[in-house]
Homo-oligomer: A and B are copies of this chain.
Amino acid sequence: MIKIAIVGTGNVSHHLNKAISKANGLTVVQIINSRSYIQENTTDLPDIYIIAVSDNAINSVAKQLKNTKSLVVHTSGSISMHALPERVRRGVFYPLQTFSKQSEIDFKMVPLCLEVEKQDDLFLLKKLASALSNSVYDTSSEQRKSIHLAAVFVNNFTNHLYQIGNEICAENRVPFEILKPLIIETAKKIESLAPIEAQTGPAKRNDTKTVERHLNQLKNSNLKEIYTLLTKSIQNTYGKKL
C-alpha cells in the first residue's frame, strides 16, 4: 500500500484525492491545507507528498518538508523540480489536464508526466502513477516544459478562441449553442487525423475574398489582428502567401 499525503485543497488535489481513493494499492493518509503548517503524520508516515498548490506557492510550502524522508513531488508543468527542498528526495508528478471542480475527470485517461532526481525513486512514482492512469510518461524537465507550453496553445488559447466565437455570436444575437457541435467535432477530428490534415477554411485554401470579407465584418481591432495573424500563420504552414 502506497501512503500519500496531498498538500493543497484546490482542483488538482480534489480530483487526485478522488482518483487515489478509487485506485488499488493507494491510500491518502493526509490532506494538508497549504496555508496551515505541515505537521508530519509520524504514526502513518506518507511514502509520497504530492504538492498540489499554485506554482508560486510550491517553494514556500515545500520548504516545510525539508527534513522529510518521504518522496516529495509537485504537480506543476512549468516549475523546476529544484523548487523543492535540496536535500529531499524530489520529483515531479504533472497531470496534463484541465481540472475544475464542476466536471468529472476519468483519471485513467489523464497523461501523467513523471520526473525524479534519483532514478531509485522512479519505481515508486511509476507505481503510484500506473495505479491512477493508463497513460504514464517519463519526461525530462525540458520535455515537461514544452508540453506545458504546447498545452497553453491547445487549451488556454483555444478556450480564448471559443470566447471570441461567443462574443461574435452575442453581438449578432445568435445563441453560442450553435457553435458547440462544431467545437466538439473539431477536437474529435484530430483523434484520427493529424491537425495538418484536418485544416480547412479560407486561409488554408487561399480564399482571399472570404478573408477580406471577414476582416470587414470584424469591427474590433484586437480581433482583426488575431484573425490576420492566424490566417497568415496558416497560409505559411501550407506554403501560400496572402
Contact = CB atoms under 8 A, between A and B. Distances in A.
Contact of A214 (B149, B195, B217): B149
A210 B145 CA distance: 10
Interface stretch (A32-40, A42-50, A99-107, A123-131): A99-107
Given A135-B181, A147-B178, A225-B229, 5 more contacts: A78-B210, A146-B169, A152-B214, A159-B200, A183-B190
A57 interface: no
Contacts of A217: 145-146, 149
A198 interface: yes
A225 B191 CA distance: 28
A162 B195 contact: yes
Contacts of A97: 181-182, 185
Interface residues of A, number: 90
Interface string A150-164: 111111111111111
Interface in A200-230: 200-204, 207, 210, 213-214, 217-218, 222, 225-227, 229-230
A154 B162 contact: yes
Contacts of A153: 161, 164-165, 168, 226-227
A192 interface: yes
Contact of A189 (B100, B176, B182): B100
Nearest to A146: B172
A96 B174 CA distance: 13
Counting every copy of the chain, the complex holds 2
Contact of A180 (B163, B166, B190, B230): B190
A164 B208 CA distance: 23
A159 to B, nearest CB: 5
Contacts of A151: 165, 179, 182
Contacts of A242: none
A219 B196 CA distance: 20
Contact of A169 (B150, B171, B179): B150
Interface stretch (A63-71, A84-92, A231-239): A231-239
Interface stretch (A17-25, A114-122, A136-144): A136-144
A98 interface: yes
Most B CB within 10 A of own CB, among A135, A152, A181: A152
